[in-house]
Amino acid sequence: MAETTPETAPETTLPGADELRSEVREWLRDNWSPLPAGGDPWTSSPARVAWLEKVLAAGYAVPTYPVEWFGRGYPATLAAVISKEFAAVKAPGSSQDRYNIPANTVLALGTARLRDELLHDFLVERARTCLLYSEPGAGSDLAAVRTTAVREGDRWIVNGQKVWTSGAQTAQYALLLARTDWDKPKHKGLSLFMLPMKQAGIDVRPLVQITGETHFNEVFITDAVVSDDYLLGGEGNGWRALQTALAYERSIMGDSNRGSRNRAADSLIELARNNGVLGDRAVRDRLATVLAMRELNRLNNTRAKAGASQGTSSSIMSLGKLAMSRILHAEAALKTEIVGAQALLAGPENPVADDVNFLTLNAFFTSIGGGTDQIQRNIIGERVLGLPKEPEPDRDIPFRQARRS
């Protein structure tokens, strides 16, 4: 049972920015101490969970949420004050109303039972989730998924295969996109579920990445069961519901990138200085270009989030996601040039070169995860620039009649 209930959240008030800033600073001063470093990124330590419980109880985890769901009912401007104070002391847990995919999706689309049972645990990371979207025959074209969910009374029976799923080995739940009606066009016969992962019939197999890690997995589903109360957005509304979840994912990927393994090559400026090329005009020009791209992307993402309300999707998020992909590739190329022949080395005895190579290989993840660069360009072209849509001959025919590869 949840340790924090909606009734214990603070009452809705609208303090001034300075008043709130002082409140948060004092609270952090009295409560925050750095958490132990390291650990599996796909699981949460007891110390981290305990800290997130405190943040949630104080109303700082999701300040724009309604009071009855652990929030304060604040506007985005006040929520930003809280976020900045947490960032200043490097404390996690605030601003989850901007990045917590399962919690935000459940708040926007979940049933009352689902909110009661899982929202708290998602916000304190007692329950972690993975995303069961892509399939071997439906990667870029997610509307072509063939994993099925068949209604059986007040539950659904799921069968199919998913791939490229981060964190599936340890996740307690998954956002699952499944086909619930084969006689409707591909976008209209889909439903989105919150699937319990720890049950018979779910087989998770790790995939080895080019970096040597195994964060991604393929998942085989055989007669898995999910309650009808765990249906998000209603039967047949899966495509629309998915856009809400994808908007949060793309927002996260557009805001930040994954750092290096040992942080030896994280700073472009320090890397250039340490390698004696910070005074090189060509290097400085390319370095300034990358830093300017980062700032422009930050401003664009701020604009996109300011115009989006809770539970909605924004096509502008695709611009930020695509931009971050290009930034990471540009940074990796510049870092490789800065370290020169040293980039031929690898291993812990060569930490700088090892980091540069890791970041170069890992940049390709952002070009694929959350929707490929090509898909983001389509979205931007059609929904932001108003260009004609690409031909889709199977868009309006029953899915069972569509050609399959």
SS3 letters for 137-166? CECCCHHHCCCEEEEECCEEEEEEEEECCC
Establish whether 3 is a catalytic residue.
Answer: no
**Whole-angstrom distance, CA of residue 380 vs CA of residue 386:** 8
Whose structure tokens read 């004696």? 276
Kindly report the CATH class assigned to 129-238.
Answer: mainly beta
Q: Say whether 256-384 and 129-238 share the same fold.
A: no
Residues 6+ apart with CB under 8 A from 4: 53, 56, 57, 70, 120, 124
Residue of 249, 331, 349, 392 with catalytic role: 249
Are 190 and 148 within 8 A, CB to CB? Answer: no
| Torsion sign (Cα): 212, 332, 352, 257 | negative
CA distances from 400 to 158, 162, 184, 220 (A): 18, 19, 8, 22
**Whole-angstrom distance, CA of residue 285 vs CA of residue 293:** 12
Total residues found in the chain within this entry: 405
**Whole-angstrom distance, CA of residue 348 vs CA of residue 77:** 44
Strand, coil or helix: 333? helix
Residues 6+ apart with CB under 8 A from 279: none
Are 2 and 52 within 8 A, CB to CB? Answer: no
- Residue spans of the domains in the chain: they are 6-99, 129-238, 256-384
Residues 6+ apart with CB under 8 A from 189: 179, 180, 181, 182, 183, 236, 399
Largest CA distance in the chain: 70
User: By C-alpha distance, which of 192, 113, 104 is closest to 156?
Assistant: 192
Tokens of 344: 């031929």
Flag residues of the chain having pLDDT under 50: 1-10
Tokens of 40: 């599996």
Write the CATH number of the domain with boundaries 256-384: 1.20.140.10
Whose structure tokens read 């990796």? 332
**Whole-angstrom distance, CA of residue 93 vs CA of residue 195:** 25
Q: What is the pTM (predicted TM-score) of this model? A: 0.81
